Structure 1
Amino acid sequence: MLFTVNVIERTKVTDIARKKSKLKWQWAGHICRRTDGRWSRRVLEWRPRLGKRSVGRPPTRWSDDIRRIAGGRWMRRAEDRTAWRALREAYVQQWTAVG
């Protein structure tokens, strides 16, 4: 393990999972702070299914892992930049600790 950390530091290789999760968190905050009425925020709030649900496990939505860290009112929390940045590290750790 120590050898792996040393090699990563020396070669300056970027951890893809860490980078992906950080960019997703930043983009989600950016979209939630928009006030110009673009479609991207409306897509996040959209509930597509009407009627009966299909059998089996419910499909995972894009915002489910964000909601797990920031709570149910995550779109409102994203409007406060300092609080959103503070939550980012917890979100990134979720993805880097897994695998």
Structure 2
Amino acid sequence: MDMTEMRMLRWMCAVTRRDNIRNEVIRGTTGVRKLSDKIQESRLRWYGHVMKRDEQYIGRRVMKMEVQGTRRRGEPKRRWMDCIKDDVPPKGLTGDEVWDKGSWRKLTRNIDPT
């Protein structure tokens, strides 16, 4: 996904790979943040919405649900909660910040470079 995004940014700037211009320079020129960072921001924002709802909300019940049975062989499929568990520690979040909407928004936000 990031590779396709960079290809489009290079095309917008009329730059080819042969020009040997680094990705950071192209991102700085266009003022665009990585798409994966934007997806992470949206995922954490939705997590905040779900956590603020009451215990009977279907989203909260599904988060706690354990599915019976066994999985297929191989690497398990990546779930939404697995992504959340990977997104929270690098941002320095503990999960208690979710109750204060303003601070949660500031802590989870990935600001576009200008």
Q: TM-score, normalised by structure 2?
A: 0.51
Percent of residue pairs identical: 21
User: What is the CA distance between 1:63 and its match in structure 2?
Assistant: 0.6
- Aligned pairs, how many? 86
Counterpart of 1:11 in structure 2 is: 30
* Structure 1, gaps ≥5 residues long: 93-99
Q: Which runs of 4+ in 1 moved over 6 A?
A: none
Counterpart of 1:95 in structure 2 is: none
Is the aligned partner of 1:63 residue 2:81? yes
- Kept in 2, the 8 Å contact 1:31–1:40? The answer is yes
1:39-92 CA deviation, whole Å, 9 max, x = no partner? 2222222222x1344333333221113224547xx9x63644347854x47xx7
Q: SS of the counterpart of 1:63?
A: helix
Instruction: Tell which has more relative contact order, 1 or 2 (C-alpha 8 A, sep 6+).
Output: 1
Q: TM-score, normalised by structure 1?
A: 0.57
1:9-41 CA deviation, whole Å, 9 max, x = no partner? 222234211111111111111111112733222
Q: SS of the counterpart of 2:47?
A: helix
* Structure 2, gaps ≥5 residues long: 1-19
Match of 2:54 among 23, 27, 35: 35
